[in-house]
Homo-oligomer: A and B are copies of this chain.
Amino acid sequence: MELIFATGNKHKLAEAEFILGLSLPQLKLLPHEGPEPVENGVTFLENAAIKARAAFEATGQPSFADDSGICVEVMGGSPGIFSAIWAGGRDDAVNRQLLLDQLTDISSEHRTASFVCTIALVEASGETFFTGVWSGSVAMRVSGDGGFGYDPVFIPEGFEVTAAELEPEVKSSLSHRAMAMNQMASFLSKR
Instruction: Please report whether the interface of chain A is mostly helix, strand, loop or mixed according to DSSP.
Output: loop
Q: How far is the CA of A81 from the CA of B107 in the complex (A)?
A: 14
Tally of contact residues, A, Cβ under 8 A: 27
Q: Which of B88, B101, B107 contacts A102 (CB 8 A)?
A: B88
Q: B101 near A88 (CB under 8 angstroms)?
A: yes
CB-defined contacts of A102 to chain B, threshold 8 Å? 82, 85-86, 88
Residue A144 lies at the interface, judged by CB distance under 8 Å to chain B: no
**A117-144 to B contact mask, C-beta < 8 Å, 1/0:** 0000000000000000000000000000
Q: B75 near A105 (CB under 8 angstroms)?
A: no
Q: A42 near B87 (CB under 8 angstroms)?
A: no
By a beta-carbon cutoff of 8 Å, the part of chain A in contact with chain B is 38-40, 42, 71, 74-78, 80-82, 85-88, 97-98, 101-107, 110
Known: A42-B106, A75-B82, A85-B104. 5 other contacts (CB 8 A): A40-B105, A42-B110, A71-B76, A85-B101, A87-B87
